[in-house]
Amino acid sequence: MDKFLGLDSKFYKIGTWLGDMAVLVFLWFLCSIPLFTFGASTTAVYYVTTRQLSQKEGYISGDFFKSFKTNFITATAVTVLFLCMFYAEYINISNMSKSSIVYPLQFFVVYELTATLCFAFPLLSRFDFKFWKLLSMSFMMANRHFLTSFTCVLFLFVFVYFMYVITAPFYIYPIFMMVFMAAYAPLTSMMFMKVFRKYEPTLDVDKEDNFSVEE
């Protein structure tokens, strides 16, 4: 019994991890309520989950708010910019004739925006990039590492479609969002860290949390 329930047992470690993820996604949802802070809170989630993969675990709330505060300005600027671009694409698709030769192009643009955004917040969580450098690196990595970006975009599109078609009480939707994030963030963190280690092999061993990557 001690072996099964001890501090070094897999059962205890899994239970602790699940508890940590519950706290983490609750903080993420709470700090994303103003919407424009979504980027900062998502960056903070990735800061915690990628550090866990680097065996640099600390206090969940402490690490979360450390990243939230440090990356708030850049993450918020990225969030506002992409919200505007997604809205512009929504207007284009809604008002454009389906027979137009450039109509299919709008969906390609939506994919590129989503793929770039998928990389932006994880990158910001572990690397010290200024705004335009972050955008260029995110766009480059999203297209260079197509399988990773496509998988992330597919997960997001499936979830958005699920949220669109499901009929449930209003208070259930936040639960769905937190459950999705609890699965999405750790899974995609493994994929992103595999990519990031190609650019910064010492990402797991350096003492500093943020690195600068040369193109």
Per residue in 32-70, pLDDT tens? 999 999 999 999 999 999 998 887 767 899 999 999 999
Q: Does 1 reside within a domain?
A: no
Q: Flag whether 151 is in a domain.
A: yes
Task: Report how many domains make up the chain.
Answer: 1
Q: Is residue 208 part of a domain?
A: no
CA angle 198, 204, 207 (to 5 degrees): 125
Cα distances (angstroms) measured from residue 83 to each of 18, 108, 158, 163, 179: 31, 17, 20, 19, 23
Residue 24 lies in a domain: yes
Strand, coil or helix: what is 211? strand
What percent of the chain has a predicted confidence (pLDDT) above 70?
A: 88
Flag whether 209 is in a domain.
Answer: no
| Res. 187: pLDDT tops 70 | yes
The answer to whether residue 210 sits within a structural domain is no
Name which of 56-65, 129-138, 189-198, 199-208 the model is least confident about.
199-208
* Within-domain flag for 214: no
pLDDT beyond 60 at 20: yes
Q: What is the pLDDT of residues 102-148, one digit of tens each?
A: 899 999 999 999 999 999 999 999 999 999 999 999 999 999 999 99
Q: Answer yes or no: is pLDDT of 25 > 60.
A: yes
pLDDT averaged over the chain?
89
Interval 162-185 mean pLDDT: 91
Does the structure show a pLDDT above 60 at 7? no
Helical spans, DSSP H, in 55-165: 60-70, 72-95, 103-126, 131-144, 146-165
Residue 204's pLDDT band, with cuts at 50, 70 and 90, is confident
The parent domain of residue 27 ranges over: 7-199
pLDDT confidence tier of residue 17, bands split at 50, 70 and 90: confident
CA distance 28 to 39: 10
The answer to whether residue 213 sits within a structural domain is no
What pLDDT was estimated at residue 11? 67
pLDDT digits (tens, 9 = 90+) for 147-158: 999 999 999 999
Q: What integer pLDDT is reported at residue 6 of this predicted model? A: 54
